[in-house]
Amino acid sequence: MTEATERFFESLPARAPHVLLSPVSGTMQIDLSRGTRTVHWLVHLRPGAIEVSRNRGPADAIWYTSEELFDRLVTGRAQAISSVLRNESSFSGDVVLFLLFRRFFPDPPGTRDPRQVAREQVGRLR
């Protein structure tokens, strides 16, 4: 398990009030594999809060991915939906939980909000 992944999971409870604004709730199990070893994370999502543990358990959704890919996701070097569409990871269950959880991942390095870019362009024209 990489340090970036550990820090990511540790940061989720503090970030949840700003990210989990919808009324969606449920449990997602994230299985990170490396060779023959798999590390499990159980994430309980509810409006404004998240609980994280290193357990397996009943889940509304399960996301299977490699530790290496997950490390790229938590550092903004990969995108979650793209990884599923390219079959680099797989997902089963309530897709709404996956779409909600991906909001915790950072944008790629150097990405700028298009609204801010437009404001800067308008400012230059004045």
pLDDT > 90? residue 121: no
Of the ranges 17-21, 52-56, 57-61, 118-122, which one carries the lowest mean pLDDT score? 118-122
- Determine the residue type at 44: H
pLDDT score recorded for residue 125: 73
Tell me how many domains the chain contains. Answer: 1
> Could you tell me the CATH number of the domain that includes residue 26?
3.30.1050.10
At residue 43, the pLDDT reads: 97
Beta bridge partners of 31: 40, 64
Q: Which domain holds residue 11?
A: 3-125
Give me the percent of the chain exceeding a pLDDT of 90. 80
pLDDT, position 86: 95
pLDDT tens, position by position, 91-113:
999 999 999 999 999 988 777 77
pLDDT at residue 114, rounded to an integer? 81
pLDDT band per the 50, 70, 90 thresholds, residue 26: very high
pLDDT of residue 1: 64
For range 2-14, the mean pLDDT: 94
> Token pair for residue 93?
């269950």
